[in-house]
Chain A
Amino acid sequence: MSSQYVYVTYIRTTPQKLWDALTSPEFQRKYWFNMHQESEWKKGSSWKMLFEDGRVADAGEIVEADPPRRAVIKWRNEFRPEIAAEGHAICTYEIAQEGELCKLTVKHEIDAPPPSKFIEAVSGGWPKILSSLKTFLETGEALPRPAT
């Protein structure tokens, strides 16, 4: 049995700008708790999420990349052993234009029965990251970094 979460946000932007905001480290740092990711965003390329100080938070690889519409990341936590023990999760980004808005769907699933520790950990983060991403793309400024 797998655990899955789905997040959807509508952002007033273009698919290309949204893709760039999701994949480029300089943009990620602004809305992703000061973290950033390293990857070439091509099928088979490695993928890493890094803390501000350079420690690796998560690592994996790009399973699919179809810019600016779809990316699938194989994603494993690397810094909390109890979460890393659950193995790889799959994270899918889907971008669809709907009129003046872009619909971003983020699915995160792991082959572990609920309640998965991994899903529990990312589910607190995604709403904050996506709200901040939306504000960043629509106003040019991200939300202040959460206090907790």
Chain B
Amino acid sequence: MSMDAVFKALADPTRRQLLDSLHANNGQTLGTLCEQMDMTRQAVSKHLAILEEANVVATVKDGREKLHYLNPVPINDIAERWIGKYERGRVKALSDLKKNLERED
């Protein structure tokens, strides 16, 4: 359960797309996730295994189905590791400013 595994898991656009999809709609099955991806079921399943290995995706069995949840805890651990108590307010202010400036009205 290392930070290396988290960085490796995040260093791929397909895997980030899977996380975005779970962020928008948490608790999806492999089947639902596959419908949104332009690749084979095996490929999606392999990417999900890497995300699960890094603990950024948590799975829960629901009857015969396996539901996938975005688990933001390891990403938060990384943020806490480098963003200290005093920086946090400023980083949040800058990130809010960026969001506001980049918003298309």
Contacts of B89 in A (CB 8 A): 147-148
Look across to chain B and name the residue whose beta carbon is closest to the beta carbon of A11. Answer: B1
Please give the distance in Å from B15's CB to the nearest CB on chain A: 17
CA distance A102 to B39 in the complex (A): 35
Minimum distance in angstroms from B39 CB to a CB of chain A: 25
A101 B85 Cβ-Cβ under 8 A: no
A128 and B60 contacting across the interface, CB-CB below 8 Å: no
Check A135/B88 contact, CB under 8 A, given A7-B58, A107-B60. no
Note all chain B residues with C-beta closer than 8 A to A105.
Answer: 58
Instruction: Report which of A131, A145, A147, A148 forms a contact with B77, defined as CB distance below 8 A.
Output: A131
Q: Tell me which residues across on chain A come within 8 A of B63, comparing CB atoms.
A: none
Interface residues contributed by chain A, number (CB under 8 Å) = 25
Number of A-B contacts (CB under 8 A): 58
Among B27, B73, B75, B88, contact of A146 (Cβ-Cβ < 8 Å):
B88
Known: A4-B26, A6-B60, A8-B71. Is A147-B85 also a contact (CB below 8 A)? yes
| Bound: A105/B73 CA distance, A | 11
For residue B31, CB closer than 8 A to chain A, the reply is: no
Q: Which residue of B lies closest to A12 (CB)?
A: B1
Interface contact B76-A144, CB-CB below 8 Å: no
Count of residues in B whose CB is under 8 Å from the partner chain: 21
Q: What is the distance, in angstroms, from B22's C-beta to the closest C-beta of chain A?
A: 10
Query: Which residues of A have CB within 8 Å of B73?
Result: 7-9, 126-127, 130-131
Asked if A6 and B69 sit within 8 Å, CB to CB, the answer is yes
Whether A134 pairs with B69 at a CB distance below 8 angstroms is: no
Kindly supply a per-residue 1/0 record for chain A positions 1-26, scoring 1 wherever the CB is within 8 Å of any chain B CB and 0 otherwise: 00011111110000000000000000
Contacts of B98 in A (CB 8 A): none
Q: Is the CB of A134 within 8 A of B55?
A: no
Q: Contact flags (1/0) for B59-102 with A, using CB distance below 8 Å?
A: 01000000001011111110010001100110010000000000
Residues of B within 8 A of A114 (CB): 25-26
Chain A stretch 56-78: residues in CB contact (< 8 A) with chain B: none
Query: Can you spell out 6 A-B residue pairs with CB atoms less than 8 angstroms apart?
Result: A6-B71, A7-B73, A8-B71, A10-B55, A147-B85, A147-B92
| Residues of chain A whose beta carbon lies under 8 Å from any beta carbon of chain B | 4-10, 101, 105, 107, 114, 126-128, 130-132, 134-135, 143-148
